[in-house]
């Protein structure tokens, strides 16, 4: 009984807030095109109820972690303190609310930022395979804002595995004069120190965030859209509330690209490696998708659908496929009408082949 209705109730409570430059949106992985649609007030697809619950669940994980911190010798204060950051040359500010400030037994203070993520994302972050750039940017924006009232230069970015309660900790330092962030230490609660992550630097962190929001504002004023940041098959597009409006004219865009094959010399090595990875798709599927996105990006920058990369011919096409519309499926009860849940969608495909000699 409850399993039938709880996600539905959560979905009805998934209202979209108004757009404004926020620290949580400032990172380089957040799609500028998505933010522009939001700024334009475009109609958005409501979040599925399950996704709403997942986000709400993250907030509760934060509270649970804070309760455990209060049982240690560390002090936690200034929870949800609002911050505002300005930058010369920009007529807007970036706002947000911090998770808190931690004071250790030597009275040194750190910004505290908590994130709770799924098992697979956590493993990438904990092993240093993937760096949480958006979270790091958020911390740096907060540090810059905090320094309006107190001199704190370091942050503890604590990431929790929702499945196993494992933690990893990014110890960050931020130089205000240089707008430079350094990763001083990555610590995994199970494995200890992760040496491969040491000495990473992230320059112009906060300035890049202001540039990002300025791009959104310029696009809004000029009635244009930034390029798509991800492929349609990516999870970011799949869960984006503006996925439908963003991709609705993509077939026409691709068809309108210049015909003929453009020389794209800078993609030859990518093409060779793409074919190599494709032969081991099951083991290297994620790497193949990353290579695919890089090659498609080069084609888009050239404004063409086909190219010649040294020994390779590259073509980007649109293929029509059938898939289950899961949102519609959830509204259906009778299995006999399952066929009605199918819809025709278009899918990008990248075709690479060796040129014929002669």
Helix (H, G, I), strand (E, B) or coil at 328: helix
Residue 43, pLDDT score? 84
Band of residue 175 on the pLDDT scale cut at 50, 70, 90 = very high
Alpha-carbon span 94 to 141, nearest angstrom: 8
Boundaries of every domain in the chain? 72-214
Residue 69 has pLDDT above 80, yes or no: yes
Helix (H, G, I), strand (E, B) or coil at 224: coil
pLDDT tens per residue, range 126-148: 998 899 999 999 999 999 999 98
Cα radius of gyration rounded to whole Å, the chain? 23
Number of helices and strands in the chain (H, E): 12, 14
139 or 261, which is more confident? Answer: 139
Residue 340, pLDDT score? 63
Band of residue 115 on the pLDDT scale cut at 50, 70, 90 = very high
Alpha-carbon span 134 to 98, nearest angstrom: 15
Band of residue 228 on the pLDDT scale cut at 50, 70, 90 = very high
Residue 38, pLDDT score? 95
Band of residue 7 on the pLDDT scale cut at 50, 70, 90 = low
Give percent above pLDDT 90 in the chain: 49
pLDDT tens per residue, range 279-327: 766 556 677 788 888 888 888 888 888 888 888 888 887 766 666 666 6
> Mean pLDDT score of the chain, rounded to an integer?
86
Band of residue 6 on the pLDDT scale cut at 50, 70, 90 = low
Residue 87 near residue 63, CB atoms below 8 Å = no
Band of residue 51 on the pLDDT scale cut at 50, 70, 90 = low
Q: Which residues contact 351 (CB under 8 A, 6 or more apart)?
A: 314, 315, 316, 317
């Amino acid at each position: 009984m409850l399993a039938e209705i709880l996600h539905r109730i959560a979905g009805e409570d998934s209202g979209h807030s108004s757009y404004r430059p926020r620290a949580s949106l400032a990172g380089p992985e957040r799609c500028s095109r998505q933010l522009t649609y939001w700024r334009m007030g475009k109609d958005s697809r409501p979040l599925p109820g399950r996704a709403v619950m997942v986000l709400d669940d993250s907030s509760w994980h934060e509270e649970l972690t804070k309760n455990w911190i209060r049982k240690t010798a560390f002090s936690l204060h200034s929870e949800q303190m609002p911050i505002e950051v300005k930058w010369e040359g920009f007529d807007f500010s970036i706002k947000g609310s911090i998770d808190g400030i931690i004071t250790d037994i030597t009275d040194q203070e750190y910004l505290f930022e908590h994130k709770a993520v799924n098992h697979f994302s956590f493993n990438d972050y904990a092993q240093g395979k993937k760096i949480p750039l958006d979270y790091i940017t958020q911390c740096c924006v907060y540090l810059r804002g905090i320094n309006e009232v107190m001199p704190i230069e370091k942050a503890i970015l604590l990431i929790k595995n929702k499945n196993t309660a494992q933690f990893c900790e990014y110890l960050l330092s931020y130089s205000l004069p240089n707008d430079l962030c350094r990763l001083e230490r990555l610590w995994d609660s199970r494995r200890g120190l992760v040496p491969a992550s040491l000495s990473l630097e992230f320059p112009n962190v906060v300035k890049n965030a202001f540039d990002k929001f300025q791009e959104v504002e310029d696009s809004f004023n000029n009635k244009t859209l930034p390029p798509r940041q991800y492929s349609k098959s990516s999870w970011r597009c799949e869960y984006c509330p503006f996925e439908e409006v963003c991709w609705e004219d993509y077939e026409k865009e691709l068809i309108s690209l210049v015909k003929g094959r453009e020389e794209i010399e800078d993609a030859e090595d990518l093409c060779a490696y793409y074919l190599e990875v494709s032969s081991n798709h099951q083991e290297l599927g994620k790497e193949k998708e990353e290579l695919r996105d890089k090659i498609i990006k080069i084609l888009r920058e050239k404004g063409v659908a086909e190219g010649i990369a040294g020994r390779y011919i590259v073509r980007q096409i649109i293929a029509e496929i059938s898939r289950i519309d899961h949102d519609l499926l959830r509204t259906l009860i009778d299995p006999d009408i399952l066929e009605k849940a199918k819809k025709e969608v278009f899918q990008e495909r990248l075709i690479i082949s060796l040129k014929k000699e002669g």
